[in-house]
């Protein structure tokens, strides 16, 4: 079931018409530096938690905690599939435990020590900014930044509004959907947790497999002529498993993510 879902997601996303410029333009720095080893930093989770007054508040907080962990656990695969060597989750957590700087300070600081100490060529910084709900839609706002450890230059910077159709019952509880029931069973998750984990995994997959193919692979040169994702995009997963991709403006993203409650 998971394989068929992934195939459907890949197929629909590949056919999506919303694309940015060629990869050679969007990933100019990456093509110049040709990184091979990538370290995925732990997800920075800035999503607001509920003040715990009712059991539902604790449940919600646990759901988004789990989604952030699952986002981190599933970020390595799409990058590795492109031919990069990706530091595994356990080793990544060990590396992270030795870093005293916040993500914000790392992004404006010098990362050359990661190159010298661990042989890491680039660091991916994933961030969850917010979870929101609009009627039967669950929404997550995420950001991905890939930074070189040689030059400290940004190699990728993408902002995503990820949305999943999640019908709810009269109590406001999510209904079990076709694409989530077996996912929930396989991962031993509650239905609501499965909905959130499924969404962040699919957003990970869509965004990260658009990176240029590793320079270790013969497709590296040809890949530069394919289209890159826009810097701001909307990813929508519907009830029947189809995906809609749209380009959104920076103003829309920031208004919804950072201004609207």
Q: What is the CATH number of the domain that holds 110?
A: 3.40.50.10610
Whats the size of the chain, residue-wise?
261
Contact 259, 132 (CB under 8 A): no
Residue 243: give the domain boundaries. 2-259
Query: How confident is the model at residue 181, as a pLDDT?
Result: 76
Q: Distance between CA atoms of 154 and 89, rounded to whole angstroms?
A: 22
Q: What's the confidence (pLDDT) of residue 187?
A: 80
pLDDT on residue 260? 85
Cβ 5 vs Cβ 179: under 8 Å: yes
Q: How many CB atoms lie within 10 A of CB 74?
A: 19
Q: What is the residue-level pLDDT of the chain in tens, covering all 261 positions?
A: 444 444 444 444 444 446 678 999 999 999 999 999 999 999 999 999 999 999 999 999 999 999 999 999 999 999 999 999 999 999 999 999 999 999 999 999 999 999 999 999 999 999 999 999 998 899 999 999 999 999 999 999 999 999 999 888 887 788 877 777 777 878 888 888 999 999 999 999 999 999 999 999 999 999 999 999 999 999 999 878 889 999 999 999 999 999 986
Angle at CA of residue 88, ends 122 and 31, nearest 5°: 25
Whole-number pLDDT of residue 18: 61
* Rounded Cα gap, residues 183 and 252, in angstroms: 32
pTM of the shown model: 0.91
CA 108, 111, 114 angle in degrees (round to 5)? Answer: 155
Q: Are 68 and 46 in contact (CB under 8 A)?
A: no
| Domain count of the fold of the chain | 1
Q: Which residues contact 28 (CB under 8 A, 6 or more apart)?
A: none
Q: pLDDT tens, 159-177?
A: 999 999 988 888 778 887 7
């Amino acid at each position: 079931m998971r394989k068929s879902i992934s195939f459907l997601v890949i197929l629909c996303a590949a056919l999506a018409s919303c694309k940015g410029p060629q990869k050679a333009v969007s990933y100019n720095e990456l093509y110049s530096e040709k990184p091979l080893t990538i370290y995925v930093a732990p997800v920075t989770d800035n999503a607001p938690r509920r003040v715990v007054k009712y059991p539902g508040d604790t449940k919600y907080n646990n759901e988004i905690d789990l989604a952030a962990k699952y986002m981190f656990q599933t970020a390595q695969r799409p990058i590795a599939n492109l031919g990069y060597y990706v530091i595994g989750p356990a080793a990544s957590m060990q590396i992270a435990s030795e870093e005293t700087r916040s993500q914000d300070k790392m992004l404006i600081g010098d990362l050359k020590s990661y190159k010298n100490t661990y042989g890491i060529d680039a660091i991916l910084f994933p961030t969850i900014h917010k979870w929101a709900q609009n009627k039967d839609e669950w929404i997550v706002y995420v950001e991905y930044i890939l930074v070189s450890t040689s030059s400290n230059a940004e190699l990728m910077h993408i902002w995503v509004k990820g949305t999943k159709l999640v019908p709810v019952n009269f109590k406001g509880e999510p209904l079990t959907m076709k694409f989530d029931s077996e996912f929930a069973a396989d991962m031993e998750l509650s239905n609501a947790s499965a909905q959130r984990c499924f969404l962040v995994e699919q957003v990970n997959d869509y965004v990260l497999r658009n990176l240029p193919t590793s320079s270790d692979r013969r497709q590296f040169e040809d890949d530069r002529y394919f289209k890159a994702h826009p810097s701001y995009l909307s990813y929508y997963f519907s009830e029947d498993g189809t995906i809609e991709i749209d380009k959104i403006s920076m103003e829309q993203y920031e208004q919804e993510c950072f201004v609207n409650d």
